[in-house]
A and B are shown apart, each in its own frame.
Chain A
């Protein structure tokens, strides 16, 4: 799988996700600067990493969502290419129009940095084929603006089309407001676009991939993506 990690001024998780991709899929991603206008030929997966692009000025992801490289990312997505936005990357996808809705300030107004539990809602997508439907995974979050919001019509469409892939739950997979860390509507942690090839999620699966430093529940996402690319080839 050929991957490209987009680096914006203020990104800070590009190294984490590059390391996870190398560790799980065996291939090193290219790092692409935000001011570039093209992706390397043959790119299968584009990753928008976490961080604080442009210092979170104006709104999280607002300026990055309009950076020069984003036209190439939009074209890649329109061709059916895979795009993964994690944390600030999810905010950028919403601001760029590749995903609906947006991420608001956490309902409790605090920056949250801890492990959470996610229920994987379905396993028949490129992003979740490494998991079983209903499986609960433990991954960390680190954000101040992760409270997913959209108008009622958009939420109804996302739910009706099965486009919510990850939800915050308790450790047994039950919905519980106490475990919905940022107050996101319907406990939404990750959604895909209409084509199912663009995923945005707030938690950081790339940080739980190495058994020497803890749980490895994040591996399934990257392993599943590599498998999906291999099968499509």
Chain B
């Protein structure tokens, strides 16, 4: 038995994101209309052993805090997806 999870890491508000800005500029130059802002982040697709939701969430929180996110500038969100 294994569970699938997704951890999404995004930059905190107010942290300058030069990559997002460059993508935003490229979209403008491609003529994609209506986009006012782009912020780049990361998505981790993770499999967790067992079927205990609480212990999976605890492991994922530890993973996010210890390595996946740098909480100085990044936020993370954990979702169990099946």
Contacts and interface: CB of A to CB of B under 8 A. Distances in A.
Partners in one complex: yes
Interface of A: 58-59, 62-63, 66, 95, 100-102, 104-109, 149-151
B70 A62 contact: yes
B15 A109 contact: no
Contact of B73 (A58, A66, A104): A104
Contacts of B73: 102, 104, 149
B67 A109 contact: no
Contacts of A66: 66-67
Interface in B43-79: 66-68, 70, 72-73
B16 interface: yes
A10 B9 CA distance: 25
A220 to B, nearest CB: 31
A62 B67 contact: yes
B18 interface: yes
Contact size range, B: 10 to 19
Interface residue SS majority, chain B? helix
B44 to A, nearest CB: 9
B70 A109 contact: no
A107 B22 contact: no
Contacts of A108: 18
A100 B71 CA distance: 12
22 contacts: A58-B67, A58-B68, A59-B70, A66-B66, A66-B67, A95-B70, A100-B72, A101-B72, A102-B72, A102-B73, A104-B15, A104-B73, A105-B18, A105-B19, A106-B18, A107-B16, A108-B18, A109-B22, A149-B15, A149-B16, A149-B73, A150-B72
Contacts of A107: 16, 18
Nearest to B74: A59
A38 to B, nearest CB: 23
B29 to A, nearest CB: 15
Contacts of B67: 58, 62-63, 66
B18 to A, nearest CB: 5
Given A58-B67, A102-B72, A109-B22, 16 more contacts: A58-B68, A59-B70, A66-B67, A95-B70, A100-B72, A104-B15, A104-B73, A105-B19, A107-B16, A107-B18, A108-B18, A109-B18, A149-B15, A149-B16, A149-B73, A151-B72
